[in-house]
Structure 1
Amino acid sequence: MPNIKVSIIIPVYNVEQYLRQCLDSVCNQTFKDIEIIIVNDCSPDNSLEIIKEYQRKDERIVLVDLKQNVGLGFARNEGMK
């Protein structure tokens, strides 16, 4: 992985219909020295499968898969860890 200059934290819960657009936007940025930390907050939809699909295509994606729903603030804090 290149020298990371920016970390992008994306908390995910029940956003399947928007997730591809979000990840396409982040992955296609012209600035490449980023890590993309996606925190799946135990989402009940197909968000996790979409995240794993993108993770296979882009090595900058880091998945944090929480085992129980903890809410947006806590999910962001987990991503910062």
Structure 2
Amino acid sequence: MAKAKGAIVVDTARCKGCGVCTTACPTKVIELAAEVNGKGYHYAYMANPDACIGCSNCGIVCPDTCITVYRAKAGATA
């Protein structure tokens, strides 16, 4: 089975920094930023993007649907 390469996009303006996605990520890709968004929350971001496998766990558990997950087979070209 081919390995998958993933990426996420977080809507930082809507993220409330609950941290549910950080615990749901099996490869520990997501962390909360030291900076805050316009609402004063520490938002989620990809701290280790090379480890993302595109499993979608973070997007599924996000209570505010702030995370979009993209996935492609490793080595695939556009």
Higher helix share: 1
User: Relative CO higher for 1 or 2, CA cutoff 8 Å, sep ≥ 6?
Assistant: 2
**Same structural fold, with TM-score higher than 0.5 when normalized by the shorter chain:** no
TM-score (norm 1): 0.31
TM-score (norm 2): 0.32
